[in-house]
Structure 1
């Protein structure tokens, strides 16, 4: 049997080598450049896919799509937070500067907000952890190379791209109907309008996507390149990315010309996208060091990316395109001050280093005195799509959930599996048999014990059925 396997492997390798030798060099270059285009374009394509989903839901640029209750699996964005009220203003400055007006934090509510350009480079944070420091403010988003008059009283953001978006999370005190309604009402005090209309702003249009299948998961096929083409046609080339002009031209994407690949070209682009996907997935499980010693929890952002993106990619000797692709294949939004308003820990392994299997049962013990001023939450996502697991009744448990069981020492046991454990349904997060999953642990308003690691989140432990 071992000999037969070795013979089969040898034949397979020979066939692959023969195929590579007979494939014209120009075709091999197209496949290779397609893979590199996927890696390079990830954050911008991620943004475009969310915009297309918003348009499909009935919203457009310079309008705000929102969810009137915490999101469920119908929201198929990448690793969304089901324990906040989401509002997403999409802006377009081609006709001139746009104002995003944020209300002051107080008894009525508070937000955690991030404003990004098309490439998800953070322009600024908003809310108590942002530039307005909770006092509220008018964020003025300027088009590329804007030379017009800037009136006083604005927080000025110079965007290198015409389009972008903000991710606004209106904080929930709990998941009660009253607290959800309060968070929605506070969030809808956001205003989005053209600077030209600042003297008398028209009402901001809000579109509720609560029951809409809002799918912006990354498609590793021809649809990726269709999105990339929209970006090239609508946005200026940035100086840092001009090396990609000929790279994209060689695969059929060129400013001012239609993108119309024939069947052969589509097949090559699909192959390149699959290669990029395999590489990104392989790297994503190896690139992040554990945050706590002897655990598998990691901060899903490379230090070089955090360092460079927050400065507008101006560091002279780094441009972390690979690290950027890995992050934006799994999530979205750029944060100017990472760790000030929120902190993320991700894991896809249990205590023994095995993949998290949706058909198995696990327990996560959250130690007492979690280091946060607002709340913590833990959410399960599909390891394949990095979106919420489809067709499950809920995706997370949070310290905002008032009826969760607590242990005598103040710790909380959260259970994961396809069926609720006996007697612990209130602390259960459902998973799906036959599908691997990953976890994201969030702390909003993180405090010192998290950063000096005197508080440690342990790994998941596999448990037997109860």
Structure 2
């Protein structure tokens, strides 16, 4: 008999033995009392349940408990995690969008406030308490001359810059500088959007933007009639009108009582995501943003398709926005040395570099900056090389303080004092400005002033040349000129600006003092 047949015979014999044993077991169990069988069944059932329960495990995580059966995640937990994935991505998309959202709120605000259209090329003259109010962390001390264009609507735009002391920048839609203004010599610039080309006979510098939305602004930093003349000396017009350019429109922004004022601050409702969608539909996708666009697609925003989020997507988008705005404020107002190694001024001064150590170019050789642009984009608008200049006596520096000496929020119902030591390291001048936390705009108050500076007429100085600046709902007696009024129920923060920062600032040897509550 061959091996195969032998094995079949063995199996047949084993089966017969099993059947005989089963028959004997059946006869024996027939004699077992029914109550015993019921108990045995209960024991087996309990054993089965315990066996299943022992297979069910719980893993503690920062998201809460995650349930597994063996090594397999349960259906309920998987469903929870799918939602958490979308919530986390929506949250991170908020911080990703910060600098872009800045300009995508600024542009419609300018058009609405100046009653202009997206087909117009014009400059907005913004200065003074009411003139700069709508724009995030604007400076009241130095007038702005601002223009924005959607080059997909206007076509290429020509800028004729005069000789003289004007300084500014051209930014793309992500607040990245694409041209610094300030050579002091006459220049002609041609601003081109994606895919737009210059005429072969164009004489001047071509400024190619990666986005259609661009901002171009400048300041005349001198004083007197010369600065006043320079402020409206730049000419801007559409390339299509270059043969016979119209007179450039300079519109002073001076809102009247009752006028609707559009603000340059990020919305906290679905309008935020609508603006993100408008950007996605208008602009080409930057290569660095491919994965972010994949996240947007999962949340209902996709290029070439209408934005019609489901009820669940709306809920998740709003949840992500709520947390994303809080995270952005944490990044911006609570900088850490781990995230921003160079941004905290001194050892424990209470002041931080508002620029967060950002390189305005954003795209560095080995990575693109994320934390820095999210931090700055939450609280401020526009960047330029001059704002991060490391040359003593050139450019400007911005130090922010968001908490008092005890680590508490600066509250408008309290009284505070900031001590500015003698000889602040500013070759030109320095200023202190108060902003509200909610919108990052200059504080609105009965006195209609939000700053004090070394140029403030009658500013009181101490015997050693230092200055004490006061914040609170009421002025300390005899110190009114050094006082900025704040509002009960409204938290605020403070900027110290240094124009022409000197070496003591870069070395961080000029002592800065924390803002102290006066009780």
Q: Distance in 2 between matches of 1:456 and 1:321?
A: 30
Q: For 1:251-304, what per-residue CA distance to the aligned partner results, in whole angstroms no more than 9, with x for missing partners?
A: 11111221122444322211110121122222331335421233011112333x
Q: 1:159: Cα distance to partner?
A: 1.0
- Provide runs of 4+ in structure 1 moved above 6 Å: 13-17
Greater alpha carbon shift after TM alignment, 359-368 vs 151-160: 151-160
In structure 2, relative to structure 1, the CA distance for the partners of 1:219 and 1:136 (3 Å cut) is same
Q: 1:141: Cα distance to partner?
A: 1.8
**Which structure shows the bigger proportion of residues in helix conformation?**
2
Q: Distance in 1 between matches of 2:308 and 2:250?
A: 35
Give the alignment of 1:43-192 within 5 angstroms.
43-57=99-113, 58-61=115-118, 63-67=121-125, 69-72=127-130, 75-94=133-152, 96-105=155-164, 110-127=165-182, 132=183, 134-149=184-199, 154-171=204-221, 173=223, 185-192=229-236
1:202 equivalent in structure 2 = 246
| C-alpha contact (below 8 Å) 2:445/2:486 kept by paired residues | no
2:450 equivalent in structure 1 = 395
Q: 1:371: Cα distance to partner?
A: 2.3
| C-alpha contact (below 8 Å) 1:71/1:85 kept by paired residues | no
CA RMSD of aligned residues (A): 2.9
Q: Distance in 2 between matches of 1:99 and 1:237?
A: 25
Equivalent residue in structure 1 for 2:280, among 223, 226, 232: 232
| Structure number with bigger Rg | 2
Q: Distance in 1 between matches of 2:262 and 2:221?
A: 22
Q: 1:460: Cα distance to partner?
A: 2.0
1:269 equivalent in structure 2 = 317
Between the two proteins, the alignment pairs up a number of residues equal to: 431
Q: 1:397: Cα distance to partner?
A: 0.6
Q: 1:232: Cα distance to partner?
A: 0.8
Equivalent residue in structure 2 for 1:36, among 73, 78, 92: 92
Q: Distance in 2 between matches of 1:83 and 1:438?
A: 17
Matched, 1:449 2:507: no
| C-alpha contact (below 8 Å) 1:363/1:463 kept by paired residues | yes
Q: Distance in 1 between matches of 2:201 and 2:178?
A: 19
| C-alpha contact (below 8 Å) 2:189/2:206 kept by paired residues | yes
Q: Distance in 2 between matches of 1:63 and 1:16?
A: 57
Scaled by the length of structure 1, the TM-score of the pair is 0.84
Q: What SS is found at the alignment partner of 1:76?
A: coil
Q: Which runs of 5+ in 2 are unaligned?
A: 1-62, 68-75
| C-alpha contact (below 8 Å) 1:330/1:386 kept by paired residues | yes
| C-alpha contact (below 8 Å) 2:396/2:499 kept by paired residues | yes
| C-alpha contact (below 8 Å) 2:160/2:234 kept by paired residues | yes
| C-alpha contact (below 8 Å) 2:435/2:494 kept by paired residues | yes
| C-alpha contact (below 8 Å) 2:131/2:254 kept by paired residues | no
| C-alpha contact (below 8 Å) 2:445/2:485 kept by paired residues | no
2:41 equivalent in structure 1 = none
Q: For 1:58-87, what per-residue CA distance to the aligned partner results, in whole angstroms no more than 9, with x for missing partners?
A: 134453352454133872322111112122
Q: Which runs of 5+ in 1 are unaligned?
A: 1-12, 174-178
1:433 equivalent in structure 2 = 488
| C-alpha contact (below 8 Å) 1:358/1:433 kept by paired residues | yes
1:344 equivalent in structure 2 = 398
Q: 1:21: Cα distance to partner?
A: 4.8
Scaled by the length of structure 2, the TM-score of the pair is 0.76
